[in-house]
Structure 1
Amino acid sequence: MNSEGIVDTGLNILRLDLGRFDRRFGIGPACWPFFDLLWIHSGSVQIRIGGANLTLQAPDGVLIAPDVAFEGRSQGADASICHFDWTAPDLACPHGFLRPGLVAGANLQTMIRLLHRHAAQNASAEIRKRLLRAILDGFSPPAETDPPSRVDRAWQEATEKLAEIRSLQDVAALAGLSESSFRAEHRTQHGAPAGRHLQRLKLRHAARLLTTTGLTLSDVAAQVGFAHAESLSAAFSRHYGQSPGRYRRAHRHLA
């Protein structure tokens, strides 16, 4: 396993790993607070993501969005994973996952193998970052011609300064809107409550800090804009089904 740290607010590799799935070692169940690129190099797996059932036959893979539950099984498959933060497409996975383009499989497999080789050889962070971005292009939906809306620009800015975001009113101010107008525009564009999205952003970042730093719970709460550690603990337990301390112990290998 290789843990990577890229100094880039948009892209940060957390973990690269190679392994094998079979009857003894299945996939999940899991629900990560970061993106998970699962790639099948040989063999096949059956995986359930949200309400979708997928069969991945090498060379094939799936890009799973944060906070999306998944699990799978295989009779035998060689696979790799890449866990990473990626702020740019935070609202771009309406189904919880993305698939590669129709003709991208072989090219992506070559690039993914090269990414793991670069990591093993301690290639520069910039080289690995550029390669991962090229890989992600193979999963991205067609680029939009319209610029980001003021709502999405506000979310991008809020993601970079969560410690200063105490309420949805703070996010609305970044868009130059009242809270009620921001709520309405967000729901129109994304079909979900803005308050829920803010809570998910805060808890997802809290989960990252718990698994990748030694910060106390009070410090984590301050970093993600919660007034008290107790408030964070209650919200975190409701969202992830376990306390922050238990979550940290269970995911300590990511630190």
Structure 2
Amino acid sequence: MIRFLDHGWGTLTTRRPIPPCRWDRFDLLCVHGGQLQLRFEHQATLRLGTGTGVLIYPHTRFEGEPLEPRCRISVQHFAIDDSAEELPGVLQRLVNRRNGYEPVQLRPHRRVRGDIQRALALAFEPQTQAVHDMRVAWLTLILGQLDTVESNALPAQPEAWDALDGWLRQHVTEPITVDAMARQLDLSPSHFSHRFRAVFGVSPGRHMQRLRLQEAQRLLRETALPIKAIAQKLYYADLANFYRAFRKAVGITPARYRQRHTLRG
């Protein structure tokens, strides 16, 4: 038997993180905007970006905080009672699952998000048997569209990924390839890319772009390098592309940023 509990949308902020939780139900948490970091028992960490999520099993302790000012999420809580009721395969496999979690990808995100919106809307309808059956059908559809990242796709030692992130920051002005990143963790490039996205929520290329734009902000604040030289230093061959990427990430142009933040003696 499937029982539906709390469902809804939420926005997390640095002032409104996820406090320590331990539910007696499944929690399907999906990120639809921003980034989120979750911490589980035994200090395991999981970073989620837009279009990713996690299915948390009952009795699993976790807490979390957004990695950006705002993080938009959807939450679906449900319980699966151990009964003789015949369940769809994607639900049957979860019977008796406890103390664990599955990182997932929402592929394609836009379509799965639409299905989540329709499923959540049913939570506010009069709860008849017909509505309950529709909710089970939507949950089955949603879970069936999620690409599970196997548990062994998460590092046994999260500090290895923190060390990699530190190494990338130290070499942000160098032409680092995915192959070079993968060698740091002794993984094949394809396996590394899959695991990297599970941990950081974005591809290695997008993460490097983010780090380079952070370095651009530092150079604009602390040096007198011309903006064109900064762009070239960070592998933006086209100055217009650098301006577009910077403005999209920071909200203002590099010149305006330097004007506002230049260190003055």
Normalising to structure 1: TM-score of the pair? Answer: 0.46
**TM-score, length-normalised on structure 2?**
0.45
Who wins on radius of gyration, i.e. which is larger?
Answer: 2
